[in-house]
Structures are given as C-alpha cells and as structure tokens.
Chain A
Amino acid sequence: MVIELLTKRYPGMRAWLMQRLTALIMAVYSVMLFLRICVLQPDTYAAFLEFFQPTWFRIASWLFWISLSIHAWLGIRDVFKDYVPNMQVRSGLLKILVVLLWVYIAWASWLFLM
C-alpha cells in the first residue's frame, strides 16, 4: 500500500516524499557545516582552502546542492501553482526556474567537484 503510493501513478506523493527527504539531507548537512565552522574557524584564506579541501566535504556539499535544487523546484513550483493562475505565464516561469536551477547545479558542481 505504502509502496503503491510511491509509484508513478501518484506523482504528488513522490513530490511530497522528495521534499521531505531533501529537507532531511539539507538539515543534517547544515548542522554538520555549522559544527565544522565552529570547530575549524577558517578565518584566513589558507584555512578556508583547507576547510574546503576534503573530498567527503565536497561530495557532501554537492549532495546538499542537489537536494537544495530539488527542494527549491518543488517549493517554488507550489508557489507558482498558488499565485499564478494564468497557465501560459506559469509554464513560462517554470521553464525559467528549471533553467536557473540547472545553471546553479552546473556552477555548484564546478565549485564543489573540480
């Protein structure tokens, strides 16, 4: 029953679950980032580079950004659904949103993974 709700026939349930899953990932990352900043206190350029160096931290940051993109997509889409009744305007705005999010993902991937 629960698994059935997660199939393609119920896209709303999948959106709902993705919003929560990505929220959890981001919440865990945020707490980790906060603690890491408190412990390492990177206040010089060298310290900041070192702060950013570890592979696990870069991958975690990248996963955070992917989660953020999915979360923002679902959230802003809901906002458009609520406040933009004109379907043409709404679909235009959604297209802009998708392009923006992909540009940010490309940018973040370059920063975190290169």
Chain B
Amino acid sequence: MPENEIQSSRKAKTKNRPKNLNLLTIRLPINALVSILHRATGCALFLVLPIMLLLLQLSLSSVAHFETVVSIFNSPFSKLIMLGFAWAFFHHFFAGVRHLAMDVHWMTTLMKARYTSKIVLVLGVLATLVLAIKLW
C-alpha cells in the first residue's frame, strides 16, 4: 500500500473508533466502585477544607461563637450534611488503609481484593451509622 493510502486508512480507523464514555454502559466491579468512591470522597473532603477551618476558627475565637457553632451542629439539617461528609471521611480512610495494605503486598489477589472492597464499603457505612446514633 502506498504511503498516503496507509495514512488515510489510519485516519478512517481513528475516526471510526468507538468512544465509550457513556457512564451508564460501564459495568463497575466492586473494586472499581471502592476506587472511584475513594477519588470522589477525596475531592469532596478537599472542597470542605475552608469550611472546616472556618468552623475551627469560630469555635476557638469566643464563647458566643463557640455556642453558634454548637447550635449549627445541633440542627438536624446540618447533622445530615455532617454525616454525609463523615461517611466521605470514613470511606476515604478505610479505602486508603486498603491501598496501604496492598502496597505492602497484602490482599492483592482478585478474590481477596473483592473481599476487602466489601469490608471497606461496610466499614464506611457502619462507622457513619455509629456516629449517627451518637449524634441523635
């Protein structure tokens, strides 16, 4: 095949390549679910950093501000939001520990990885539930 023909056929191939970015068509195995949640929760936690610093500063600055922060935490709506971020923290924490374990070649086979994925998901929810019971 002459050079220009090769190039044009290559172009056609690139053009006709399927682009599978439809998230609904991607089947997510449990390890992948833990992985993407690790990333998503990491981003969420990053986004609340200024709020955490602000709340800390307020609660340290004076009695009145401390009481304000306490009353914010006592409203059911903010409790719910806090639980959401608590879950994000717990999931990120446990999934991170799982990563560290795998870094030292622990639980690295597929079956074990699936098993620890389930444990991570359950632990994250369980810790959040315990906190919810404590908060109410």
Query: Measuring CB to CB, which residues of chain A are less than 8 angstroms from any residue of chain B?
Result: 20, 23-24, 27, 30, 45, 48-49, 52, 68, 72, 75-76, 79, 104, 107-108, 111
Contacts and interface: CB of A to CB of B under 8 A. Distances in A.
Greatest chain A CB density within 10 A among B46, B57, B59 is at B46
A47 to B, nearest CB: 10
B10 interface: no
A111 B39 contact: no
Given A76-B43, A76-B46, A27 B97 contact: yes
Nearest to B96: A23
B93 interface: yes
Given A23-B100, A27-B97, A45 B49 contact: no
B59 A75 contact: no
Contact of B43 (A23, A52, A79): A79
Given A20-B100, A27-B97, A111 B46 contact: no
B93 A75 contact: no
A23 B100 CA distance: 9
A107 B52 CA distance: 11
6 contacts: A20-B103, A24-B100, A48-B59, A48-B60, A68-B49, A107-B53
Interface residues of B, number: 21
Given A27-B93, A52-B60, A76-B46, A111 B53 contact: yes
Interface string B92-112: 010011011001000000000
B76 to A, nearest CB: 19
B63 interface: yes
A97 B49 CA distance: 12
A52 B99 CA distance: 32
B56 interface: yes
Contact of A75 (B46, B67, B97): B46
A79 B96 contact: no
A48 B50 contact: no
Nearest to B50: A104
Nearest to A76: B46
